[in-house]
Amino acid sequence: MISQSSEGMSCLSKFPESGVINAYGDSALSIPRTDALCVDTNVFLTYSKKKDGQDKPNTPCFNELYQPTGEILGHGSFGSVCTYKRKKTGMEYAVKIIKNCDDPRRRPAVLREIRVCGRFKGCENIIQLVEFFEEKNTFYLVFDKVAGGTMDKVIKSQAFLDEPDASRAISAIARALLTLHSAGVAHRDIKHSNILVHTKGEVTPLVLCDLGLASEPTPNGARPSLTTAVGSPKFMAPEVVAAIRQRPVVPYDHRCDMWSLGVLLFSMLYGFLPFKGDCGKHVGVWRQPCHDCHQIILHKVLHGQFKLPPGPTELLSRDAVNLVRGLLAVDPRDRYSAFDVLQHPFVTAHAQR
């Protein structure tokens, strides 16, 4: 369905019945329909100055509608995330600015992220993309701003979380993962910095963000068959590490996210990550882990080599320890699913009333 926005721009207001979004006249924007928990809801506005590879005249520029506040929320190899204010309303948004999108590898990746965000428009605990702009070789992805910051800042301010807080946080993340996984989508980059909290210092409510590495939805929510090794080494599942180190590559699926959730839970409860790597070359000098350090981490992850602190059930409940171990199972067939987590006593015992 095509509608007219309040500012006179043509936009896609709903997924068409065919399940295809075509904001660019580009067949790469076809999206298979799924039976995910949240699908076929309103789609973000689309302001593209391109059609069939050509600039479109009389299309408002991003900077005509938004102005920067000067606040930088994050940055990476893709570009940066900054706060912008909508000139008409004064509302603040988090804008992901991705440059050099004339690169034949980068633009398809950005379009994939937009597609995945569109699939989960209106879903609980998943970051919401409001609209996006494509101008020359730059994309501007406008997201709702989540004011409380990242989960890692919450944990660092407290050293670790008590069981009720950790339980509520894991429950919210598991609900987001259940939604993604029900559509056959693997997030593939679950970590502290990709979880945003609404209130500073509070673990919930929260949203899962950065779907830049997420896989495409699959027909009928079937398990995806993935072979590309992506993610953060300390949170990467053994089967993803195997895709780096072993040949032939054995495909993995969305169960890799549950391992990452286990790493996250471990760090919430104990205040440190289960997998570390120290090659011994940096004694007395702080520096980023080198290649050898990362190889040690990957080896430990591949073989599930981690230790719980001495007397783990003296520090934590048996339910907490059981959930950690059930998520950090090397064989994904033995690993708890998102549904299992939501039914686990550690989560149900502290469910918000």
Q: Return binding residues.
A: 96
The span from the CA of 71 to the CA of 75, in Å, is 12
* 1 close to 16: Cβ distance less than 8 angstroms: yes
Tokens 């919930």 map to which residue? 204
Q: Which helix (H) or strand (E) holds 68?
A: strand 66-76
* 147 close to 201: Cβ distance less than 8 angstroms: no
The span from the CA of 272 to the CA of 196, in Å, is 19
Q: Reply yes or no on whether 40 is catalytic.
A: no
Type of residue numbered 138: T
73 SS3 class: strand
* 203 close to 169: Cβ distance less than 8 angstroms: yes
Pairing of strands 54-55, 92-98: unpaired
Torsion 321-324-327-328 (CA) sign: negative
Nearest Cα neighbor of 132 from 235, 47, 27 is: 47
Q: Among residues 52, 165, 189, 253, which one is catalytic?
A: 189
With 0-12 / 13-18 / 19 or more C-beta atoms within 10 angstroms meaning exposed / middle / buried, residue 109 is: middle
The catalytic residues are 189
